[in-house]
Structure 1
């Protein structure tokens, strides 16, 4: 690590950070072997995956810095930095394979951060990595990192789509709530109008009933008058019935008495 610091302070710092993560990964997997509870194992694997993600990011920064300094360094320095980068990728792949093995034992269905399509898991990847050339290891590591970035982008897209769907659902629910509130207000208004109309109908009914009583009374009076008229016509000398003006028989002419002279 001191030789890398002599080439570039940033390379030395990145190398130190990556070495610290490798030590943490080693201790984390040793701790994982002692954990019996599957839930705790799953949480420990998630923490180790986060550390491997950070390590992947630092290796990419290390690779960019190596490429930037490649034209200025001598061949020996370039060889040393290239070998160090390949060693980092190989060591990271070994932890990735170990993580896959534990995940398979736990029947973990989540998409693995460094998993490539149609690849095996466990010790098979470690053996495969040991037979690769340095250039193949670099290409494989870069490809796995790109696939990891794509998986993260897909996850972010799903999260954004879920958030948008939640917002649309909330807006639809708010609109439906406002619509229901308007319907309730309209129902209250209709109920008030029905009560008012019912009261008006009752008042009209009472008024009609009163008018009918008055008409019935007038009808009885008219019948009485007609009856009296008929009786007077049939029996004009009936003294029990009072005369009706205009229908009384003509008064007899009175004769004046003449006295003889």
Structure 2
């Protein structure tokens, strides 16, 4: 029942060799057990086989520790093959444990505890635990990684939510500023329009005054042009005197 597997380290290869020797001894022992008819001899031989199975269980645990120590130095493919090798060893041991239980039942349930060393710890349970220990550790690591990822995601979402809130507040402030700026521009536009109208009317008045002055200077005898107060030429002194004498004589 020897098994083929990957290249092993010296320690792992030594453990595998010891296990193969034990498995051959167990196979031979159970074959001989079929030929034993005496119940006491069967019981004694079962005790010897049980001791060999306990030794095989201990070696499998040592093999498991060895491949775990080498795990960081091996490639994923090699680690996979080593784990498959370990599972094959456990499966083979459990097959012998099942045979032992069959013979123990035939001899009577009262001897079962004696064959298990009086500890109530069947080898098959330990084998199953050994086979599932790595799977349990991996599951715990996956769960812990999932929890860590969930916490990190929650923190990231919280930070993004706060950042979005700040952006919304800044947009509200910018919108309010734009609205105020638009109102100010409209006010300035209205003031400029009013100032332009006033300046236009003043410009027209100034142009009219300038035109009247020019015409008055060019043609001072034109009676159709009304004198502008403060711009009419002063009356001569002689003319004033004559007017005054005429008033006195009359």
**TM-score normalized by structure 1?**
0.47
Query: Which structure dedicates a bigger proportion of its chain to helix?
Result: 2
Q: Which structure has the higher relative contact order (CA within 8 Å, separation 6+)?
A: 2
Max Rg structure = 2
**TM-score normalized by structure 2?**
0.49
